[in-house]
């Protein structure tokens, strides 16, 4: 997103750009001088002359000297070879260049040259990758990879554009921050990155562009957050009643749970509706935190809605809330709800304090009496439009998003703002760590032995595969079912997405009420299944899953005091990645590894990850830059003249053009 009224100058107006070059540029979406300036070099080749005291065998070197013998071609070799001698450190050294037939036509005796290549000590040779004339040598050569256009040609065109002022570059960062961090102005940064005099200049330009990307990301997020803040009176509540409720719980809250509850209650003190993301690692007790979040609204006789992505998960929430909040009127609204119209009418009349359901909650004829708090579980399972349809039914925009998928800290901050994220990492004391084992398929007998023992103990076993049929991967519902029936003597139930809802529920119920059985399933069991006697999960073809998803699946076991195991099975060796899973049960560490390997889309979905397509900024290593940009934008938006000061006109225009609520 670029700012200001850009002076568009077509490339065919630039000296040296003929029809052939123009055609290639346009095929690469480069139409104007500004487009070309925005096309940063992919990398750089270093031609600075090495200061060498003595040469080592197979050392990569860049040296300068004079050609002392005519260049000889050997066109009859299988690969064309050119050879000559050059003077180096008062000695003669042979230079060999392969596939360079033009050398003998362009280079002559006594020419001063620069050679980049590999030194062969025992033959006293340099195997050259590059040979150029010294007077044409630039120490740093930008590499662009724009079609078949020579990089030197691109550099010459860029230099002409800058020398003849054929591009208009507006400044986008307020001077106060440029001065504070001693960053170059935008025009200077573009010159540094295209025509660098040193690698330090490249570093300074990239530092500026990293900050620029972080700054405008934070500006977008904070402007969106401000636009969502609906004014309301601070929420009053009887803290003594809430403390009494917590004191009667059968177990003490973990420190992380306490902090999350405190964060939520601080939000209630604010004079506007608030968004909060609760990240609870699998088995960390985030559902209890959301129960406590509803208490002030129950005191005030205001409605709460909780939306879950599946009927199974919604039903589990309903049962949990009914058990914990005995005085509250709670209903369940899903596709299976009987007397649905009556339930909807009672919701409208305010009969129910808490309404728990699936997508059914967003239907047009579901009207709330006084909806004041919205809880969206597994928020990444819903599209933005679905979430907003439910949020629009509330007057105050107090929303709590829940996720059991650990999101790396930087991504959580990016998506929700640093002050709006609460993290629950601690597990309740009674939860035991799940022993995780990594198996190559040839060692599968070890899994069968472990399953046999669980079946004898009358415990439940999950077996997960990535696909239903054999046209996808070798390990699928069909093939693994045959394997299990041949090797395990136990009831096997099957669950996958092609079954009808009735069949899915039937298989799930039979499994749950039959200890000593196996559920063979796709990733449908990733969330929403809580069976205390489930103590073993086996995940076939684990190379097809991200670490965070494997961690989520592992969370289906180890939900009681019983010892539990997780087996990840791979057809091929995937040792480095899958070994990490066996060594840690910290979902946040695993998510950071996944972020590096798979990118942000796996965590935030396409709607949010779309504006995380950075050219310079790295969400993990550049976290300090994100933090500085966050503080700077916060300060800037608090300035009284922010929306009127002419100095900030480009920032204002950016907000106007890019913030869509």
**H helix or E strand, kind and range, residue 26:** helix 19-27
Percentage of the residues of the chain whose pLDDT score is greater than 90:
47
Q: Do residues 89 and 48 touch, judged by C-beta distance below 8 A?
A: no
Buried residues in 128-156 as b, exposed as e (16+ CB within 10 A): beebbeeeebbbbbbebebeebebeebbe
Superfamily of domain 239-424, CATH level 4: P-loop containing nucleotide triphosphate hydrolases (3.40.50.300)
If one counts every other C-beta atom within 10 angstroms of the C-beta of residue 348, the result is 14
Residue carrying structure tokens 């709670």: 330
Average pLDDT of the residues of the chain: 86
Where does residue 97 rank: exposed (0-12), middle (13-18), buried (19+ CB within 10 A)? Answer: buried
Q: What is the rounded distance in angstroms from the CA atom of residue 193 to the CA atom of residue 203?
A: 9
- pLDDT at residue 540 in the model: 93
Q: Do residues 97 and 83 touch, judged by C-beta distance below 8 A?
A: yes
- The domains of the chain are located at 48-136, 239-424, 435-584
Residues forming a β-bridge with 44: 142
Q: What is the rounded distance in angstroms from the CA atom of residue 497 to the CA atom of residue 520?
A: 12
CA angle 470, 478, 553 (to 5 degrees): 95
What are residue 81's phi and psi, to 5 degrees? -130, 130
- pLDDT at residue 510 in the model: 93
Helix then strand count (H, E) for the chain reads 23, 21
Domain with residues 48-136, CATH architecture: Beta Barrel (2.40)
Joined together, the tokens standing for residue 651 give 């920032």
Q: Do residues 332 and 314 touch, judged by C-beta distance below 8 A?
A: yes
Q: What is the rounded distance in angstroms from the CA atom of residue 192 to the CA atom of residue 186?
A: 10
Residue 606 has pLDDT above 50, yes or no: no
CA 314 to mean position of chain CA atoms? 27
Mean pLDDT across the stretch 540-560?
86
What are residue 123's phi and psi, to 5 degrees? -100, -5
Q: What is the rounded distance in angstroms from the CA atom of residue 250 to the CA atom of residue 253?
A: 10
pTM: 0.68
Residue 468 has pLDDT above 80, yes or no: yes
Q: Name the residue with higher pLDDT: 26 or 473.
A: 26
CATH for 435-584, among 3.40.50.300, 3.40.50.1580, 3.40.50.2000, 2.60.40.420? 3.40.50.300
> Which distant-in-sequence residues (6+ apart) come within 8 Å of 397 by Cβ?
228, 229, 230, 272, 273, 274, 275, 391
pLDDT band at residue 426 using 50, 70 and 90 as cut-offs: confident
Domains 48-136 and 239-424 share a fold: no
Q: Do residues 213 and 614 touch, judged by C-beta distance below 8 A?
A: yes
- pLDDT at residue 71 in the model: 93
Q: What is the rounded distance in angstroms from the CA atom of residue 354 to the CA atom of residue 371?
A: 9
Residue-wise pLDDT for 450-467, tens only, equals 999 999 999 999 999 988
Residue 29 has pLDDT above 70, yes or no: yes
If one counts every other C-beta atom within 10 angstroms of the C-beta of residue 247, the result is 8
CA angle 409, 410, 412 (to 5 degrees): 65
Residue 479 has pLDDT above 60, yes or no: yes
- pLDDT at residue 7 in the model: 58
Joined together, the tokens standing for residue 337 give 């709800």
Joined together, the tokens standing for residue 352 give 């129910």
Q: Are strands 60-67 and 112-120 parallel, antiparallel or unpaired?
A: antiparallel
Residue-wise pLDDT for 166-223, tens only, equals 998 988 899 999 999 999 999 999 999 999 988 999 999 999 999 999 998 888 888 8
If one counts every other C-beta atom within 10 angstroms of the C-beta of residue 356, the result is 28
Residue 527 has pLDDT above 70, yes or no: no
- pLDDT at residue 3 in the model: 42
- pLDDT at residue 160 in the model: 95
Where does residue 460 rank: exposed (0-12), middle (13-18), buried (19+ CB within 10 A)? Answer: buried
DSSP class of residue 234?
Answer: P
Q: Are strands 460-464 and 534-539 parallel, antiparallel or unpaired?
A: parallel
Residue carrying structure tokens 């399953």: 451
> Which distant-in-sequence residues (6+ apart) come within 8 Å of 34 by Cβ?
2, 6, 7, 8, 9, 167, 168, 169
Nearest alpha carbon to residue 534 among 440, 458, 620, 589: 458
What is the gyration radius of the CA atoms in the chain, in angstroms? Answer: 32
Q: What is the rounded distance in angstroms from the CA atom of residue 581 to the CA atom of residue 594?
A: 11
If one counts every other C-beta atom within 10 angstroms of the C-beta of residue 75, the result is 8
Least confident stretch, 149-153, 306-310, 527-531? 527-531
Distances (CA, A) of 438 to 42, 336, 582, 586, 591: 39, 40, 7, 17, 19
């Amino acid at each position: 997103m670029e700012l200001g009224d850009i002076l568009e100058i077509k490339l065919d107006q630039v000296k040296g750009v003929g029809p052939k070059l123009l055609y290639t540029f346009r095929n690469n979406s480069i139409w104007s001088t500004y487009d070309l300036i925005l096309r940063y070099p992919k990398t750089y080749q270093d031609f600075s002359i090495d200061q060498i005291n003595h040469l080592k065998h197979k050392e990569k070197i860049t040296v300068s000297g004079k050609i002392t013998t005519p260049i000889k071609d050997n066109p009859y070799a299988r690969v064309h070879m050119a050879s000559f001698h050059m003077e180096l450190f008062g000695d003669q050294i042979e230079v060999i260049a392969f596939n360079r037939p033009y050398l003998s036509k362009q280079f002559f005796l006594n020419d001063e040259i620069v050679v980049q290549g590999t030194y062969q000590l025992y033959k006293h040779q340099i195997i050259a990758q590059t040979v150029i004339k010294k007077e044409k040598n630039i120490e740093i050569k930008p590499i662009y990879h724009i079609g078949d256009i020579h990089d030197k040609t691109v550099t010459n065109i860029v230099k002409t554009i800058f020398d003849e002022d054929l591009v208009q570059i507006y400044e986008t960062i307020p001077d106060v921050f440029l001065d504070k961090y001693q960053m170059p102005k935008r025009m200077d940064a573009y010159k540094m990155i295209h025509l660098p005099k040193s690698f330090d200049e490249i570093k300074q330009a990239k530092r500026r562009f990293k900050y620029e990307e972080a700054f405008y990301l934070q500006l977008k997020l904070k402007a969106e957050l401000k636009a969502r803040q609906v004014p309301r009176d601070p929420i009053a509540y009887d803290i003594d009643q809430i403390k009494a409720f917590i004191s009667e719980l059968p177990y003490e809250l973990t420190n992380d749970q306490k902090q999350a509850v405190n964060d939520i209650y601080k939000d209630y003190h604010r004079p506007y509706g608030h968004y909060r993301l609760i990240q609870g690692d699998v088995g960390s007790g985030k559902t209890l935190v959301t129960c406590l979040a509803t208490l002030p609204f129950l005191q005030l006789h205001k409605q709460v809605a909780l939306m879950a992505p599946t009927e199974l998960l919604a039903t589990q929430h309903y049962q949990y809330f009914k058990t914990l909040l005995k005085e509250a009127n709670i209903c369940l609204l899903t596709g299976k709800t009987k007397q649905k119209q009556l339930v909807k009418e009672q919701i409208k009349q305010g009969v129910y304090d808490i309404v728990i359901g699936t997508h059914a909650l967003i239907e047009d004829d579901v009207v709330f009496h006084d909806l004041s708090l919205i809880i969206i579980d597994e928020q990444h399972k819903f599209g933005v439009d679905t979430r907003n349809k439910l949020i629009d039914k509330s007057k105050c925009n107090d929303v709590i998003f829940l996720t059991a998928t650990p999101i790396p800290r930087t991504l959580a901050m990016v998506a929700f703002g640093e002050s709006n994220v609460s993290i629950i990492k601690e597990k309740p004391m009674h939860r035991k760590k799940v022993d995780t084992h990594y198996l190559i398929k040839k060692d599968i007998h070890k899994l069968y032995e472990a399953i046999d023992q669980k079946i004898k103990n009358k415990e439940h076993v999950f077996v997960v595969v990535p696909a239903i049929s054999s046209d996808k991967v070798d390990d699928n519902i069909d093939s693994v079912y045959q394997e299990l029936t041949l090797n395990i003597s136990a009831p096997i139930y099957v669950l996958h997405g092609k079954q009808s809802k009735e069949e899915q529920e039937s298989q799930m119920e039979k499994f749950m009420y039959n200890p000593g059985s196996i559920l063979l399933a796709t990733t449908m069991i990733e969330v929403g299944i809580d069976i205390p006697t489930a103590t073993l999960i086996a995940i076939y073809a684990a190379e097809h899953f991200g670490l965070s998803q494997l961690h989520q699946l592992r969370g289906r076991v180890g939900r009681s005091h019983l010892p539990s195991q997780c087996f990840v099975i791979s057809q091929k060796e995937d040792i480095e990645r899958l070994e990490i899973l066996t060594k840690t049960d910290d979902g946040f560490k695993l998510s950071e590894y996944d972020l590096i390997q798979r990118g942000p889309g796996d965590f935030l979905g396409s709607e949010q990850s779309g504006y995380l397509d950075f050219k310079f900024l790295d969400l993990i290593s550049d976290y300090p830059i994100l933090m500085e940009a966050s503080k700077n934008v916060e300060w800037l938006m608090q300035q009284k003249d922010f929306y009127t000061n002419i100095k900030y006109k480009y920032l204002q225009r950016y907000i106007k053009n890019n913030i869509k609520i």
